[in-house]
Amino acid sequence: MKLCALPIAFLLGLTGTLGSCGDSAGSEPTATKAGSVPGAPSDVPARVLEDVVGSTLARLGVEARVSELSAAELRADTGLLPDDASAPETEDRTSDEGSSSPEEAVEADEGLDPEFVEMREGLISWVSDSPDSLDTAKKDIAAVKDEIAAVMAAGFSVEGRDPTGLKALIDLSTQSPSPDVAAEIAAVAATHEEDWLRRYAAWALGTLSATPGTDRVVPLLLRRLKYERDPEALVWVSSTLAAFENYAGTQQLYDTTALPAGDPAGDAARGQLALVLQRAGESLRLGETPDTKAVLAAWNAGRLGRARSAASDGLLGEVWMLVADLSGEHFQLRGVDDARHALSLLGPWAAEELALALGDDDEYVRLHTAQVLERMGPRGQTAFDSVVASLRDPHDAVCGAAAEALVAITRGTDRASAARTALLDRITAKCPYEIKVACVRALGHMQPDQVPAEELRGLFESTPLSDLRLAAAPGLLRAGSESLVLPWLIDELEASVGDPAGAEAVLGDWLARADSEAARASLDAWRGHAAQNRVVHTAAEAKARRAARAKTLRETLLPAIR
């Protein structure tokens, strides 16, 4: 993709791995053809980079979003930001509530059959005034469902439609299901200010899941998991996602069952969770209904979800629009984060699309795509080959993100050993230093039986560089080399150079996980030195805190490990 000239380097603060998106020498390589990668062996070619996003969007017939919204415009959209301003008060309902004036319907329905438009508006008004007429009105729509589908979808764009009219339109539109109708109902579920109507729209979407092409709503529902504040609406979003064979909302559904009996959200969650577990059991062909833990394990391992071949072009278009949102042309951090959130919650089929995105010529697309795959974990394992290729990306930050992604997507799989080999192969004498640090750090995040303890120990003992030692420390601790690593980490807490804060983070994480009496006693003392009441320590206070913690660990922990 063509890069924007905007100053967007600050986006890289999101990576959590490296602080630069350039090569280790500080230059800006433009390797868009096969050739050598800076710091790599001469016989290893660079991956071919091209405008993958642009060509894919063109093939699917969709356009990338233009990032020109201001913060104020974003805040006006209740579907984008949490804690929006309170909705304006609505006027009292009148006898013709639910219908719209002919003038309001003209623009939305321009070019459509006027008889069907009149039929739609008449039925909406009838159902709004007389709810008992709904079944009869549904039959009228069902009788012409194919001919009236476009008219029903256009009805959601009519200005002035109140919640009662929208509910009637949703009810009637389900009798004329189409991808466009589903997209309009999803927009109501994601953005409407009325909690009850968002709940109803999310439920209605579940009834359309068997209609071809309606799966395009999945990414929007996944984003709603992040922002939905109403517990009952969250239940229906999660349940509807499962109807589309996406189980990303199962944990939220399970959590909501903790609400007491009689609570509408809790009661709905218990009923829907039972259906979701039953559906998952049928998909897994278990012969019995699994529990929540088993379903989550299967989902996270990539054993649940639709096949890539079942994804509609509409869904693929939505996915690639999200990938385009990751590009350097988008400077709004919330849009990037929303895209990463939704993409990372897709089923395992999406890893094939993300593998292609790793070859895009926009380094921000590649960087954020690698982060998405890391969040996916084993659901992203089919992108293995592309992630390995990204270890030799022209930009160090992408290499670092790929290293973390490689460990995440292979954790607990039969490819974990291959991932370890790929990372060790990347740590060569000619490997750029920042990439070496990133690969060492990633190796330390492998499961204990996969951590290459001997290699990490050799690096730790042979280097005087604190950042490389710090990168190796977590893996060595996981492999049981406490006597080698802990004394150095404790000394590092008080070092005048290096990374005392990084050493503090590694020690705190290890103490929280360690299962020895000395570690548990040290953890209590460690926490006693923390800032109280969410107060952030000044630099001087943080230095004093680390010194106090170092003193405590020397007295309570070191004697027990020597």
Q: What is the pLDDT of residues 89-134, one digit of tens each?
A: 333 333 344 445 545 555 667 889 999 999 999 999 999 999 999 9
Helices (H), 514-538: 517-528
Do 335 and 352 belong together in one domain? yes
What was the pLDDT predicted at 561?
Answer: 83
Boundary residue ending a domain (241, 264, 284): 241
Buried b (16+ CB within 10 A) or exposed e, 172-208: bbbbbbbbbbbbbbbbbbbbbebeebbbbbbbbbbeb
Nearest-5° Cα angle at 248, 244 to 250: 95
Do 495 and 389 belong together in one domain? no
Sign of CA dihedral 69, 72, 75, 77: negative
Helices (H), 18-82: 52-60, 71-75
Q: Which residues contact 130 (CB under 8 A, 6 or more apart)?
A: none
Considering its fold, how many domains does the chain have in total?
4
Does residue 287 belong to any structural domain of this protein?
A: yes
Measured between alpha carbons, how far is 500 from 494 in angstroms, rounded to an integer? 6
pTM: 0.84
Do 182 and 264 belong together in one domain? no
Report how far Cα 61 is from the mean position of its chain's Cα atoms: 25
What was the pLDDT predicted at 66?
Answer: 75
Q: Which residues contact 342 (CB under 8 A, 6 or more apart)?
A: 219, 220, 222, 223, 322
Q: Which of 156, 116, 161, 105 is nearest to 140 (CA)?
A: 116
Helices (H), 93-178: 102-108, 114-129, 134-142, 145-154, 163-173
Does residue 523 belong to any structural domain of this protein?
A: yes
Measured between alpha carbons, how far is 558 from 562 in angstroms, rounded to an integer? 6
Boundary residue ending a domain (450, 476, 510): 450
Do 160 and 193 belong together in one domain? yes
Do 267 and 360 belong together in one domain? no
Q: Please give the chain's pLDDT, 562 residues, in tens.
A: 444 433 333 333 334 433 334 444 333 333 333 333 333 333 445 567 999 999 999 999 998 887 554 344 444 554 444 443 333 333 333 334 444 554 555 566 788 999 999 999 999 999 999 999 999 999 999 999 999 999 999 999 999 999 999 999 999 999 999 999 999 999 999 999 999 999 999 999 999 999 999 999 999 999 999 999 999 999 999 999 999 999 999 999 999 999 999 999 999 999 999 999 999 999 998 888 999 999 999 999 999 998 888 999 999 999 999 999 999 887 678 889 999 999 999 999 999 999 999 999 999 999 999 999 999 999 999 999 999 999 999 999 999 999 999 999 999 999 999 999 999 999 987 889 999 999 999 999 999 999 999 999 999 999 999 999 999 999 999 999 999 999 999 999 999 988 999 999 999 999 999 988 999 999 999 999 998 877 889 999 999 999 999 999 999 999 988 7
Does residue 4 belong to any structural domain of this protein?
A: yes
Does residue 91 belong to any structural domain of this protein?
A: no
Do 198 and 289 belong together in one domain? no
Do 251 and 233 belong together in one domain? no
Does residue 458 belong to any structural domain of this protein?
A: no
Do 425 and 297 belong together in one domain? no
pLDDT tens-digit readout, 413-458? 999 999 999 999 999 878 899 999 999 999 999 999 999 999 999 9
Question: Cα dist. 82→78, 187, 225, 258, 514 in Å?
Answer: 7, 16, 11, 24, 37
Q: What are phi and psi of 345, to 5 degrees?
A: -100, 5
Do 110 and 183 belong together in one domain? yes
Q: What are phi and psi of 360, to 5 degrees?
A: -75, 155
Measured between alpha carbons, how far is 84 from 77 in angstroms, rounded to an integer? 8
Do 257 and 170 belong together in one domain? no
37 is in which domain, residue-wise?
Answer: 1-64+327-450
* Other C-beta atoms lying within 10 Å of the C-beta of residue 560: 13
Q: Which two tokens stand for residue 322?
A: 């999200």
Do 188 and 268 belong together in one domain? no
Does residue 322 belong to any structural domain of this protein?
A: no
CB 484 within 8 A of CB 520: no
Do 336 and 283 belong together in one domain? no
Does residue 321 belong to any structural domain of this protein?
A: no
Boundary residue ending a domain (450, 474, 497): 450
Does residue 90 belong to any structural domain of this protein?
A: no
